[in-house]
C-alpha cells in the first residue's frame, strides 16, 4: 500500500508585521516558514504504519510549493521515507485549496496511492478544505478529524476513531482507497535531528509540474480558483487598562477615560 | 625432628608441606593449577566481553600519567575515603592486608616453585623470613579487622545507600529485586574472613605441633597472632599431636577455600580488584566537561545496543562495587525520578554479562540496551539525568556515568524519541538559535534599557567579548543581572562588547541532551563568528556556555581565553578596579555552586572570594563545592517541568539553605540556577524569608556608579 501525505509549509508571522501595499498579503520579510503542525501528526501516522507493516507500506510526503517548500519535505524525510514529491510551476501561484487539491488528487492517481493522509487544517489559513476536496475529486470515501487509526493489512480495511462533542467517540470502518484528515494528538511526532535533516538531502525529491500530472493551467492559480482574497487587514484592537492608585486617583483616571471616549 | 639448642638462626624458615606425603603435595598442585585455570578462563571471558565493545574515540592522557594517578588513588585510598571515611579506612585495612598476604604467598611460590628449583636461590629464611612473618601476621589482622567492620556496617549500621531497592523499576518488574547482590556481598565477606581466620588457626596449630622444634617454637612471637592461637589451643587441651592432625584438616580447608576464592575472582564481585584499578587507570580528566566525539557520517549515532559502548565503558560497568555514593549524590534520585546512576550501571553490566560472555554473540535484538524490558534502561531514566556530574565526581573507582547516558540519549535523539517540550526547545534552537523561540532581533533587546550603549564586538575591537547566552538574554529575571553586569564592567572601565543578534545558543545543553548534529552546527556558527571578531578574552555569566566554550569549542577550532564572570569579577575586586560605595555589612548569605562552574570546572573560589570581599557573612550549606546539589536544570531539564507532587531538586536545595539560621540571601552564579531557585523559593513558601541574588547583583548593589552616569551623559551629548 502506498500512502501519500500532502504537507504544507505554513507562514509564521513575526511579532511585528505589515500588510503589503496591495492589501491582500503580508510583507514576506515578516514571515518565516515551518511545517504545518497538523502535518507533523499525519506524517508520523504514515511513518508508524510504514514501520508496523514493514516492506508492504510505503509513505511518500508531497507538497505544492516553490523551492523553499523543500525544507518541509526534508524535515519529513529526516524522520523516515525514501522519496518525496514537490509540485510547482508559476501557474500554481494564487491557487485556492480546491485548486491545490486538484494537484494532490492527480498525484495520488499517478502514484497509485491507496491512502491519502492530510492534516485536518493548516495553522496559517485554517480552511480545513484541502484533504476533503482531494477525496471529492477522487471520489474516495473520507473521514475528517481522525484521532486514532488502525490498519489491517489482511482485509485492507482501516478502523478510525473520531472525537465528537461531549466526550463521545465514533469508530468508523473505511475501505481503501480513502482520504483521512488527521487531528493533532493522534500520536507523538518524533523529532527530526539536524543530522537526519542533513542526511535527508541525499534523498530524492521528484519535482513535477502540473502538466506532468495532467492538470491544466486554467484549473490552477487565480483563474482556476473559485475563491480569492479580497483584503487582509489587522482589525482594530479594543483596549483594556488596569486602573491603579488610591481611590481618588482611580476616579480621576476613570473620568479621563470617559471623557476620552466621549471625544471631549 | 631433632632437638637442637644451638641451631643457626639462618635456618629459621617457613614450614611448607612439612610431613606431607608426595601424593598430597601432588594433589595440592593439581587443585592449585585447576583453580588458576578456572581463574584464567574467567579472565579470558571478561577480556572477550570487553573486546566486543567499540574502540575509544576520545584521546586520553598518556598512560604513565594515568597509571601514576591510579597508583596514588589506590595507595592513598583518597577516592574511597570521600564522604565515607570509616568505610574507606576499613577498605584500606582489607586492601593492604590482602595485598601483603598475596605478596607474601607469591614470594613463597617464587622461591619454592621457581627460583629454588631453577637456580637454587633461597632467601626465605633468617631475619628476612622473621620480619615477613611478622608483617604477614599483622596483615592478616588488618584484613580480619576490616572485614569485621564491613560486616557490622552491612549487618547493623545499614547505611541507606547500601539498600539495593531500585527507583527505575516498578515493584513487580521481573528484575526489580536485586537482593541477590546482598547474598554476593555477604558471601564475599564471609569467604575472605574464613580465609583469614583459618589462616591464623592453621598457623597456631602448626606452631603447637612443632613446639619441640626450636627453629619454629623459639621464634613463635614473630607470628604473634599465631602464637596466641597456639597458646589458646594448648589451653583448650590440644596436644602437639592433636594440633598436628588439626593442622592437616585446617590446611586443606584453608587451601581449598583460598583456591576457590582465586578461581571465583573473575566471576564475582571480587573482580573489582582488577576492574576498579583498570577503571581508575583509564580515567578521563574531562569526562563530562568534554563529551566524547561523534562520527557524524557513521550509520548510527550514540548507543542503542550494548555493543555500541566502548570497551572502557564495558569495563566501567564491571568496576562498580555498589558502594552507593552516586546513588546518594544524584539529584534525580533524590527527587524521586526513576534514575539511580548505580542501577543504570548495574543494568548495563547485567545486559553485558548476559549477552557478551558467551562464545557467540546473540542476535542484535537481544543487545538492545534501551527499553522497558529486563536488563534495559527505560527512556524516562535517561531523560531524568541533569548531567550534573555528581555521580562521576564521587565514584571511587572512576566510572563515568554521564557520557554513558549521553551516548544513549544520542541514539534516542536519532530515533526522534524525546519529551515534546525538549523537542520544542530544540526546534526553536534549530530555527532561531535560542531556546526561547524568540526572533534573533530580540536577543539584544535588554541592552536598550541601559543608559549607555554596549560596544558591538562584531565590528569593533574589544578587550572582553561577553558571550551573553540564552537565559541571560531572554529570561526577564536574569536580564536584570545582565544589565548589572554591564554596569559593573562600565564602571570598572572595561573595554567590552557583545555579539548582539548574531550570538547563538552555545550548545552546551543541546550536546548534553544528545542532539550532536545541532550542537556542532551551533558551535561552528559561534566559532565562525568569534573567529571574525577582535578580542582578548571571552567572559560569560553563564557556566553552561563557559563550559562548552572552554572545553568543547577547541575540538571545533575555537581556541579562546575564557573566564567565568565570577572569577573575572573577583579578580577585578581584588585589584580594586570596581568602584564600590558600600559593603554588605555582614549580610548572612550562602552560596549555591552551579554544577557547570563548580564540579565541572573547579570554579569554587571565584564567587566566594567576591562575596567575602563585599563583606558578607558567608555560611556554607552542608552540600557545597564538589558535593553541591544540582538545581535540577542541567542536561536539558530546564526545558521540561519536573513531575508534580514530588519534591524538585531546587526545592530540596532551597529547603537545605533555609536551615541556615538568619539567612538573608542565597547567592547563585548561573542563570539557570537563578531561574530554578527563584521558583523553588516561591513554591517552598520562603518568599518572605530570603532572596535569591546573583554574585553580580551583590556587586552591583555596592557599586559606586556615579562614573557611569557621567559616561552616559557624555554618550548622550555626543552627536550620533
Instruction: Give whole-number Cα distances, B662 to A12, B247, B616, B628, B667, in Å.
Output: 51, 69, 13, 21, 14
Are B637 and B679 in the same domain? yes
Percent of chain B with pLDDT over 90: 87
The domain ranges of chain A are 2-219
On chain B, the residues whose CB falls within 8 A of the CB of A188 are 420
Any idea what the CATH number is for the domain that residue B396 is in?
Answer: 1.10.1060.10
Cα B69 to Cα B76: distance, rounded to the nearest angstrom: 11
What secondary structure letter does DSSP report for B156? I
Any idea what the CATH number is for the domain that residue B123 is in?
Answer: 1.20.950
Cα A48 to Cα A41: distance, rounded to the nearest angstrom: 10
Cα A72 to Cα A82: distance, rounded to the nearest angstrom: 14
In this predicted structure, the answer to whether residue B1 has a pLDDT above a threshold of 50 is: no
What is the ipTM score, two decimals? Answer: 0.85
A/B interface, count of CB pairs below 8 Å: 40
Query: Among the listed ranges A218-227, B466-475, B603-612, which one has the minimum average pLDDT value?
Result: A218-227
Beta strands in B314-395 (DSSP E): none
Task: Pick A194's closest partner by Cβ from B422, B430, B439.
Answer: B430
Query: Among the listed ranges A210-219, B5-14, B78-87, which one has the minimum average pLDDT value?
Result: B5-14
Q: How near does any CA of chain A get to the CA of B401, in Å?
A: 24
Cα B637 to Cα A173: distance, rounded to the nearest angstrom: 42
Are B331 and B405 in the same domain? yes
Comparing alpha-carbon positions, the chain A residue that sits nearest to B411 is A193
DSSP for B490-555? HHTT--EEE-GGG-----HHHHHHT-HHHHHHHHHHHHHHHHTS--SEEEES-HHHHHIIIIIGGG
B416 and A192 within 8 Å at the Cβ level: the answer is: yes
On chain B, the residues whose CB falls within 8 A of the CB of A14 are 439
Q: How near does any CA of chain A get to the CA of B448, in Å?
A: 18
Q: What is the predicted pLDDT for the residue at B248?
A: 94
Assigned domain for B715 exists: no
Cα A165 to Cα A153: distance, rounded to the nearest angstrom: 31
User: How many CB atoms neighbour CB A29 within 10 A?
Assistant: 8
In this prediction, residue B352 has a pLDDT band, given cuts at 50, 70 and 90, of very high
Angle, CA of B596, B601 and B607, to the nearest 5°: 80
In this predicted structure, the answer to whether residue B624 has a pLDDT above a threshold of 70 is: yes
Question: Average pLDDT in the B657-675 region?
Answer: 97
Q: Any CB–CB contact under 8 A between B420 and chain A?
A: yes
Q: Could you read off the pLDDT of B182-217 as tens digits, one per residue?
A: 999 999 999 999 999 999 999 999 999 999 888 888
Q: Could you read off the pLDDT of A129-172 as tens digits, one per residue?
A: 999 999 999 999 999 999 999 998 888 889 999 999 888 999 99
Are B344 and B359 in the same domain? yes
Percent of chain B with pLDDT over 70: 97
Q: Could you read off the pLDDT of B230-242 as tens digits, one per residue?
A: 999 999 999 999 9
Crossing angle for the helix pair B180-209 and B126-152, to the nearest 10 degrees = 150
CATH number of A2-219: 3.40.50.620, 3.40.50.300, 1.10.3720.10, 3.30.70.380?
3.40.50.620
Q: What is the mean pLDDT of chain B?
A: 94
Q: Could you read off the pLDDT of B563-580 as tens digits, one per residue?
A: 999 999 999 999 999 999
Overall residue count recorded for chain B in this entry: 720
Domain end among B380, B404, B421:
B421
Are B212 and B332 in the same domain? no
Q: What is the predicted pLDDT for the residue at B717?
A: 42
Q: What is the predicted pLDDT for the residue at B716?
A: 45
Are B125 and B69 in the same domain? yes
- For B366, the domain range is 297-421
Whether the Cβ atoms of residue B307 and residue B53 lie closer than 8 Å to each other: yes
Q: Could you read off the pLDDT of B566-622 as tens digits, one per residue?
A: 999 999 999 999 999 999 999 999 999 999 999 999 999 999 999 999 999 999 999
Q: Could you read off the pLDDT of B540-564 as tens digits, one per residue?
A: 999 999 999 999 999 999 999 999 9
User: How many CB atoms neighbour CB B2 within 10 A?
Assistant: 7
On chain B, the residues whose CB falls within 8 A of the CB of A34 are 431
Are B321 and B460 in the same domain? no
Q: Any CB–CB contact under 8 A between A128 and chain B?
A: no
Q: What is the predicted pLDDT for the residue at B718?
A: 43
User: How many CB atoms neighbour CB B235 within 10 A?
Assistant: 8
Q: What is the predicted pLDDT for the residue at B586?
A: 93
Comparing alpha-carbon positions, the chain A residue that sits nearest to B428 is A34
On chain B, the residues whose CB falls within 8 A of the CB of A192 are 416
In this predicted structure, the answer to whether residue B218 has a pLDDT above a threshold of 80 is: yes
Task: Pick A194's closest partner by Cβ from B415, B418, B517.
Answer: B517
Domain end among B421, B450, B466:
B421
Q: Could you read off the pLDDT of B249-259 as tens digits, one per residue?
A: 999 999 999 99
Q: Could you read off the pLDDT of B159-179 as tens digits, one per residue?
A: 999 999 999 999 999 999 998
Q: Any CB–CB contact under 8 A between A191 and chain B?
A: yes
Are B400 and B435 in the same domain? no
Phi, psi of A118 (to 5 degrees): -105, 160
Task: Pick B423's closest partner by Cβ from A15, A191, A198.
Answer: A191
* Strand A9-13 to A31-35 pairing: antiparallel
In this predicted structure, the answer to whether residue B2 has a pLDDT above a threshold of 60 is: no
Q: What is the predicted pLDDT for the residue at B53?
A: 96
Are B275 and B308 in the same domain? no
> Which residues, in sequence order, are CB contacts of B185 under 8 Å at separation 6+?
B154, B269, B322
Q: What is the predicted pLDDT for the residue at A159?
A: 96
Q: How many domains is chain B built from?
A: 3
Sheet holding B537-540, edge to edge: B455-456, B496-498, B464-466, B537-540, B562-564
Q: Could you read off the pLDDT of B20-41 as tens digits, one per residue?
A: 888 999 999 999 999 999 999 9
| Nearest Cα to Cα of residue B208 among B224, B194, B220 | B220
Question: Average pLDDT in the B463-490 region?
Answer: 97
Whether the Cβ atoms of residue B606 and residue B567 lie closer than 8 Å to each other: yes
Are B604 and B687 in the same domain? yes
Phi, psi of A42 (to 5 degrees): -70, -35
In this prediction, residue B9 has a pLDDT band, given cuts at 50, 70 and 90, of confident
> Which residues, in sequence order, are CB contacts of A70 under 8 Å at separation 6+?
A86, A205
A193 and B518 within 8 Å at the Cβ level: the answer is: yes
Residue that has been written with the C-alpha cell 510547482 in this structure: A88
Q: What is the predicted pLDDT for the residue at A240?
A: 84
In this predicted structure, the answer to whether residue B11 has a pLDDT above a threshold of 80 is: no
For chain B, positions 268-327, list CB contacts with chain A under 8 A. 296, 301
Q: Could you read off the pLDDT of B276-334 as tens digits, one per residue?
A: 999 999 999 999 999 999 999 888 999 999 999 999 999 999 999 999 999 999 999 99
Whether the Cβ atoms of residue B614 and residue B589 lie closer than 8 Å to each other: no
Question: Average pLDDT in the A238-254 region?
Answer: 89
On chain A, the residues whose CB falls within 8 A of the CB of B422 are 191
Report helix, strand or coil for A204.
strand
Amino acid at each position: 500500500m502506498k500512502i501519500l501525505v500532502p504537507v504544507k509549509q505554513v507562514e509564521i508571522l513575526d511579532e511585528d508585521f505589515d500588510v503589503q501595499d496591495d492589501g491582500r498579503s503580508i510583507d514576506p520579510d515578516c514571515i518565516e516558514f515551518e511545517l504545518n503542525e497538523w502535518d507533523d501528526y499525519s506524517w508520523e501516522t504514515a511513518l508508524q504504519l510504514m514501520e508496523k507493516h514493514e516492506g508492504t507500506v510505503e509513505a511518500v510526503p508531497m507538497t505544492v510549493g516553490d523551492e523553499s517548500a523543500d525544507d518541509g519535505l526534508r524535515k519529513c524525510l529526516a524522520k523516515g521515507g525514501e522519496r518525496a514529491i514537490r509540485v510547482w510551476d508559476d501557474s500554481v501561484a494564487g491557487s485556492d485549496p480546491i485548486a491545490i487539491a486538484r494537484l494532490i488528487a492527480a498525484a495520488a492517481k499517478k502514484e497509485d496511492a491507496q491512502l491519502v493522509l492530510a492534516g485536518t487544517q493548516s495553522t496559517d489559513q485554517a480552511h480545513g478544505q484541502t484533504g476533503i476536496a482531494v477525496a471529492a475529486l477522487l471520489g474516495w470515501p473520507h473521514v475528517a478529524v481522525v484521532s486514532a487509526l488502525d490498519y489491517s493489512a489482511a482485509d485492507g480495511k482501516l478502523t478510525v476513531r473520531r472525537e465528537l462533542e461531549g466526550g463521545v467517540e465514533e469508530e468508523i470502518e473505511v475501505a481503501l482507497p480513502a482520504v483521512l484528515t488527521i487531528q493533532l494528538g493522534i500520536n507523538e511526532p518524533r523529532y527530526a535531528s539536524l543530522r537526519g535533516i542533513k542526511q535527508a538531502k541525499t534523498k530524492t525529491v521528484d519535482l513535477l509540474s502540473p502538466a506532468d500530472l495532467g492538470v491544466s493551467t486554467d484549473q490552477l492559480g487565480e483563474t482556476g480558483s473559485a475563491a480569492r482574497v479580497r483584503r487582509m487587514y489587522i482589525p482594530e484592537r479594543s483596549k483594556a487598562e488596569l486602573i491603579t492608585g488610591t481611590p481618588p486617583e482611580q476616579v480621576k483616571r476613570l473620568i479621563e477615560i470617559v471623557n476620552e471616549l466621549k471625544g471631549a | 625432628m631433632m632437638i637442637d639448642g644451638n641451631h643457626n638462626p639462618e635456618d629459621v624458615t617457613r614450614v611448607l608441606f612439612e610431613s606431607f606425603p608426595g601424593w598430597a603435595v601432588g594433589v595440592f598442585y593439581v587443585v592449585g593449577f585447576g583453580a588458576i585455570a578456572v581463574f584464567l578462563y574467567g579472565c579470558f571471558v571478561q577480556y572477550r566481553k570487553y573486546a566486543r565493545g567499540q574502540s575509544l574515540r576520545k584521546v586520553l592522557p598518556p598512560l604513565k600519567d594515568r597509571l601514576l594517578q591510579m597508583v596514588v588513588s589506590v595507595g592513598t585510598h583518597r577516592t574511597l575515603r570521600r564522604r565515607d571515611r570509616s568505610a574507606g579506612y576499613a577498605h584500606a585495612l582489607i586492601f593492604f592486608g590482602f595485598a601483603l598476604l598475596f605478596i607474601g604467598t607469591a614470594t613463597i611460590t617464587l622461591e619454592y616453585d621457581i627460583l629454588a628449583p631453577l637456580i637454587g636461590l633461597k632467601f626465605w629464611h633468617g631475619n628476612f623470613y622473621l620480619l615477613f612473618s611478622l608483617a604477614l601476621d599483622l596483615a592478616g589482622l588488618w584484613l580480619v579487622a576490616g572485614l569485621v567492620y564491613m560486616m557490622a556496617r552491612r549487618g547493623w549500621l545499614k547505611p541507606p545507600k547500601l539498600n539495593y531497592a531500585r527507583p527505575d523499576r516498578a515493584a513487580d518488574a521481573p528484575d526489580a529485586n536485586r537482593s541477590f547482590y546482598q547474598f554476593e556481598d555477604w558471601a564475599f565477606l564471609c569467604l575472605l574472613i574464613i580465609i583469614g581466620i583459618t589462616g591464623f588457626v592453621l598457623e597456631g596449630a602448626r606452631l603447637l605441633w612443632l613446639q619441640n622444634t626450636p627453629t619454629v617454637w623459639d621464634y613463635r612471637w614473630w607470628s604473634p597472632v599465631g602464637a596466641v592461637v597456639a597458646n589458646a589451643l594448648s589451653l583448650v587441651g590440644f596436644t602437639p599431636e592433636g594440633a598436628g592432625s588439626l593442622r592437616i584438616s585446617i590446611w586443606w580447608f584453608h587451601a581449598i577455600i583460598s583456591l576457590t576464592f582465586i578461581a571465583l575472582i573473575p566471576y564475582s564481585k571480587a573482580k573489582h580488584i582488577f576492574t576498579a584499578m583498570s577503571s581508575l587507570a583509564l580515567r578521563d580528566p574531562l569526562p563530562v566537561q568534554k563529551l566524547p566525539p561523534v562520527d557524524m557520517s557513521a550509520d548510527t549515532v550514540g548507543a542503542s545496543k550494548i555493543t555500541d559502548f566502548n570497551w572502557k565503558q564495558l569495563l566501567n560497568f564491571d568496576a562498580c562495587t555498589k558502594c552507593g555514593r552516586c546513588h546518594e549524590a544524584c539529584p534525580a534520585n533524590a527527587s524521586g525520578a526513576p534514575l539511580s546512576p548505580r542501577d543504570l550501571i548495574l543494568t548495563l553490566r547485567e545486559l553485558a554479562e548476559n549477552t557478551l560472555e558467551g562464545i557467540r554473540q546473540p542476535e542484535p535484538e537481544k543487545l538492545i540496551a534501551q527499553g522497558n524490558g529486563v536488563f534495559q534502561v527505560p527512556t524516562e531514566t535517561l531523560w531524568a539525568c541533569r548531567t550534573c556530574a555528581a555521580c562521576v565526581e564521587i565514584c571511587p573507582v572512576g566510572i563515568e556515568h554521564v557520557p554513558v547516558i549521553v551516548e544513549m540519549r544520542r541514539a534516542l535523539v536519532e530515533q526522534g524519541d524525546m519529551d515534546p517540550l525538549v523537542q520544542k526547545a530544540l526546534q526553536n534552537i534549530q530555527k532561531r538559535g535560542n531556546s526561547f523561540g524568540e526572533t534573533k532581533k530580540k536577543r539584544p533587546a535588554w541592552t536598550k534599557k541601559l543608559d549607555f550603549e554596549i560596544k558591538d564586538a562584531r565590528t569593533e575591537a574589544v578587550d572582553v567579548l561577553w558571550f551573553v547566552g540564552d537565559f541571560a538574554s531572554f529570561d526577564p529575571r536574569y536580564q536584570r543581572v545582565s544589565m548589572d553586569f554591564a554596569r559593573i564592567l562600565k564602571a570598572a572601565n572595561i573595554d567590552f562588547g557583545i555579539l548582539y543578534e548574531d550570538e547563538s545558543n552555545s550548545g552546551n545543553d543541546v550536546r548534553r541532551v544528545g542532539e550532536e548534529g545541532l550542537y556542532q552546527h551551533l558551535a561552528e556558527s559561534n566559532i565562525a563568528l568569534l573567529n571574525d571578531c577582535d578580542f582578548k578574552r571571552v567572559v560569560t555569566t553563564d557556566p553552561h556556555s563557559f563550559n562548552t566554550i572552554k572545553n568543547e569549542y577547541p575540538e571545533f577550532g575555537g581556541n579562546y581565553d575564557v573566564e567565568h564572570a565570577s572569577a573575572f569579577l573577583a579578580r577585578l575586586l581584588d585589584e580594586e578596579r570596581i568602584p564600590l560605595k558600600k559593603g554588605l555589612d555582614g549580610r548572612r548569605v550562602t552560596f549555591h555552586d552551579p554544577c557547570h562552574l563548580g564540579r565541572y570546572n573547579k570554579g569554587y573560589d571565584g564567587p566566594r572570594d567576591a562575596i567575602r570581599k563585599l563583606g558578607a557573612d558567608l555560611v556554607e550549606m552542608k552540600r557545597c563545592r564538589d558535593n553541591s546539589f544540582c538545581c535540577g536544570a542541567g542536561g536539558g531539564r530546564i526545558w521540561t517541568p519536573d513531575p508534580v507532587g514530588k519534591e524538585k531538586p531546587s526545592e530540596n536545595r532551597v529547603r537545605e539553605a533555609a536551615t541556615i539560621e538568619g539567612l538573608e540571601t542565597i547567592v547563585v552564579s548561573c542563570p539557570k540556577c537563578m531561574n530554578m531557585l527563584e521558583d523553588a523559593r516561591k513554591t517552598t513558601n520562603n518568599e518572605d524569608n530570603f532572596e535569591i541574588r546573583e554574585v553580580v547583583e551583590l556587586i552591583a548593589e555596592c557599586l559606586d556608579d556615579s562614573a557611569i552616569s557621567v559616561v552616559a551623559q557624555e554618550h548622550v551629548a555626543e552627536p550620533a
